[in-house]
Structures are given as C-alpha cells and as structure tokens.
Chain A
Amino acid sequence: MSPTFHDEQLLSPAETLALIDALAARLHASPPPRSLPWEEWVVIGIRRGGARVAERLWERLCQRLGQKIPIGFLDITFYRDDLDTIGPNPVVGATDLQMEIDDRQVILVDDVLYTGRTIRAAMNALFDYGRPESVDLLVLVDRGGRQLPIQPHHVGLVIQPAEGEFIKLLDSGEKMHVVRRRLQE
C-alpha cells in the first residue's frame, strides 16, 4: 500500500513562473563577482524537478541577454549514495550535456534544496564530464535541513516546513507549481 498524502499549494503556477523569472532577472542584473563573460556560462538542471526550473530560467536569461547560452541536464541516479536504503530507481532520465563544461561558469539549478545530498551527487557527476571554472547553485526553494556543508548562491524562496512536511515541485503538464506535502497514515 502506498501512503496517501495531502498537498497544500505553496506557490501557484503563476507565482512559480514569476519566481523563476525574478531569479533570472536578479542573475542577469547582478552576476556573481569574478564571473566569466556570459559566453562562458552554462545552465545545468538536475533531473527531474531542477530540469524544469532550469529550462524556464534559461529561456528568460537568454531573452534578457539577447543571446543563446548552452543548457544541459544532469541525471544523478547513478551518483546517489542511498542505493542501500531506497533501492535502485529503474526510471532513470538521461544526462544530456552536449557542450564542453571545461573552464565554464556553471549555474547548477535544482527545484528544492533540502539535505544537500542531491547537490553533492550532482557535483560528482558534473566533474566526471569536465572541470568547470566555477559552479554556482541556484534553487527555487530552500527549505533548510541541510546534512552537508552546501549553500545556494541564488534562492527564490526560503521557508521552514513543519515536522513531517515536504516541499515538492509538481510539474504536471505546463502547470508547474509548488506544494507543501504532508503524508497521512
């Protein structure tokens, strides 16, 4: 029996898109210090939720820049450290990095930042493809609860969920939105 759960909307589809657009605007307006020229930037989304956020962010960023910068996607399934506790995931998405990442400035994008393990795995994966000049982390929501020394550079929303609550980006079709999820017995 799979457990049932209750979702409460945290960000509506419109609010979610607006938040991503705001992040793009902020990134464009104040790029990180010592950053490379835009030509050297790469946006990389972590599958699955981060990929949707990255796509939207990249679209908006390219609009503002008036030029196309590369985008890629990373599947970190094979880099996770929890095979022994959650078992294998046979629904693995493909990593899609068409560009060189050596000496580039990477904007690593995820939807919800929690323990930091996903980011740890993503960085391991990333470095199997090359050696970027720098990696910035951008997340839509930071919900705290870190178990590793990882901090995002760019955050859309910081919240503190209650005990037993999870923050989820749902992306059914075009209607990407964020919910608080509470498991029910």
Chain B
Amino acid sequence: MRSAGTLWTRKHLLGMEGLSREEIGALLDTAVSLREVNRRDIKKVPTLRGKTVINLFYENSTRTRTSFELAGKRMSADVVNMSVASSSVKKGETLLDTLANLQAMNPDVVVIRHPESGVLEFLARHLDAALVNAGDGRHEHPTQALLDLLTIQDQLPLLGQSRFAGLVVAICGDVLHSRVARSNAIGLQTLGAEVRFVGPATLMPSQAAEAFGATVYHRLEEGLAGAQVVMMLRLQNERMNSSYLPSVREYAEFWGLNRARLRQAAPNAIVMHPGPINRGVEIASDVADDPERSVILEQVANGLAVRMAALYLLCGAGVRR
C-alpha cells in the first residue's frame, strides 16, 4: 500500500530543488483532491483542526499571503498573519530572534516570504517548525511552481501531450530576478519538460544553460517558436531605474507578448503569468484576457489547492520524522 511514509517525508517545503518526480506527483495529486473542497458550498474540511500556521511576510504580497491564509483556513488550521516591513529588517539577528519568538508559540508550520535568497535554508538550520517557502529573494517560490505545474497538467490533453516529457515551455522576461522562473525551471526539468529562457541578456542569469538546463533565447520570436506553454514573468518597476533596461517602451516593443507574437508558438499554446500583470508591458491585455489562451485565473485557483496540499502534507509529515 502506498503511504505517506514513502511519498512524502519532508519536514519543509524549501524549494523545487531536490523534489523528486514522485514527490511532485504526490503534491499535485493531493491538490487535485483538494480542489473539490473549493467548489463546495461549505469550503472547509476539518483536517488541520488544532494546527497553527503562521504567515510571516517580509515583503508585501497580498495575493500569496491571502492564498496561504485561505488555504490554512479551509483546512481548519488557525492562521496568523504577520507582516514585517522590509525597512525594519536590517540584521539577520532580528530575523532569527523573530522566528525564535514565533517558535515559542509552537506553530506547526511557518510560511515565510523574504526578500533575500537562502533565508529559509538559514532558518531551517536554526528552528524546529516546518517551513514553507513563499518566495525567498530571487531563489525559489515552490508553491508558485507547483500551481503552475498543476495548471499545465490540466492542459496537457489540449496540448496534445500525455505527460510533461517533451513539453516545450518558454519562460519569458526578467529571468535573472525571478524566483518563479527558477522554481518552474527546476520542477519542469524534473518532470522531463524542455525549458527555454527568453529575455534580454541583462536580465538572464549567468550560465543559465549549465545552471538550469534551459536553452537561452534573447529574441522573443525565436524563443516562442513551437512553444506549447508561454510563461510570462512580471517586470518589476525597479528594473527600469537601473542599467538593466533603457525603458518600458523598449521592453514592451521587444519582449512584450502580443497576439502576433503568440502566433509563433504552438497552435494551442497556453499563456501563463504569476501576477500581478503589467498590462501592455510584458503582456498585451487581449492576450491576458483571452479565455482560449490565458490560464491566468486557473493559476490563481490552483494556487489555493496547492497551498492546501502543502500544508496538509507538512502538518502530517512530522509523524514519521
């Protein structure tokens, strides 16, 4: 009999790095089961009654925080939100102290978003609670990648695929600063998909091909050619006031996704975006809103289910530690 002991034994969800195909499968399967809960009148199950989940956000993100909060609540966990202004975070000792204080309250899971890469690995070495990475710097954002994988998985039949193997996914935009791109690239590779990174050279990680097994394109048209999944990344405003890019106008002109460019992709290609969208910058409104192509709202719905699944598996994984 398959059981949790063989499929999910991790204490933390720190990233897609290191997750096996089976572990990703377990998480997605659980999420699929939990989606049904979100469609009922009574959108709540008692599974995590008596468990405490703390959302600790060092960066503003109403969407992700709300998604985790709702996920916890629909599983009947007690959810506490803590937002910490980035400006007050200067020293790591403060972070460790904050977490130590939280730990004294004996939470079962702490969900953390932080502007610096690697913070969760650091905390995991010093704290007992199960940690979920809700985005650390430009490193990883595993629940976003998992919800993207679930969204793609739903679309596989329409894309003429039975599996991820051989699927062509183009991740486009500011790859350098994107934890979404990193986590997706790692997860997609684990499942056997072909990953492309498409974007300006100034926004591409060093040695991306070696680091992620991705093929790098600088021209959007080339990167999109034949792609079945087009994943657009959000362009952060602060990139504009630096030497990364000359202007929004130029970026939209060369790397913005519009209808004409989308025709380069595979005939049924789907368009994804982690949100929030910069309309008219990385993606044209008519593409983002096209129900035939855009699965952006499915991504949001799947986000909730994936986060419920993550909390469920982590809350129980402690049993077999």
Q: Give the B-binding residues of A (Cβ under 8 A).
A: 75, 77-80, 83-95, 124-125, 128-129
Contacts and interface: CB of A to CB of B under 8 A. Distances in A.
Of the listed residues A75, A78, A89, A94, the one surrounded by the most CB atoms of chain B closer than 10 A to its CB is A78
A183 B179 CA distance: 48
A128 B45 CA distance: 8
B26 to A, nearest CB: 4
B44 A128 contact: yes
Given A84-B319, A88-B315, 11 more contacts: A78-B45, A78-B75, A79-B46, A83-B48, A86-B319, A87-B8, A89-B4, A90-B27, A92-B34, A128-B45, A129-B40
Nearest to A124: B46
A125 B46 CA distance: 9
Mostly helix, strand, loop or mixed at chain A's interface? Answer: loop
6 smallest beta-carbon distances between A and B, as pairs: A88-B316, A90-B26, A92-B33, A87-B4, A78-B45, A87-B319
A84 B29 CA distance: 21
B2 interface: yes
Contact of A94 (B26, B33, B42): B33
Contact of B4 (A75, A86, A124, A125): A86
Contacts of B34: 78, 92
Contacts, number: 78
A129 B32 CA distance: 18
A92 B317 CA distance: 15
B29 A79 contact: no
Of the listed residues A85, A87, A90, A93, the one surrounded by the most CB atoms of chain B closer than 10 A to its CB is A90
B5 interface: yes
B72 to A, nearest CB: 13
25 contacts: A78-B33, A78-B45, A78-B46, A79-B45, A79-B46, A79-B47, A80-B47, A83-B47, A83-B316, A84-B316, A84-B319, A86-B319, A87-B4, A87-B5, A88-B4, A88-B312, A88-B315, A88-B317, A89-B3, A90-B27, A95-B33, A95-B36, A124-B46, A129-B40, A129-B42
A72 B167 CA distance: 36
Contacts of A92: 29-30, 33-34
B266 to A, nearest CB: 30
A87 B46 contact: no
A87 B3 contact: yes
A80 B47 CA distance: 7
B313 interface: yes
A103 to B, nearest CB: 15
Contacts of A85: 319
A91 B29 contact: yes
Contacts of A128: 40, 42, 44-45
Contacts of A80: 47
A90 B29 contact: yes
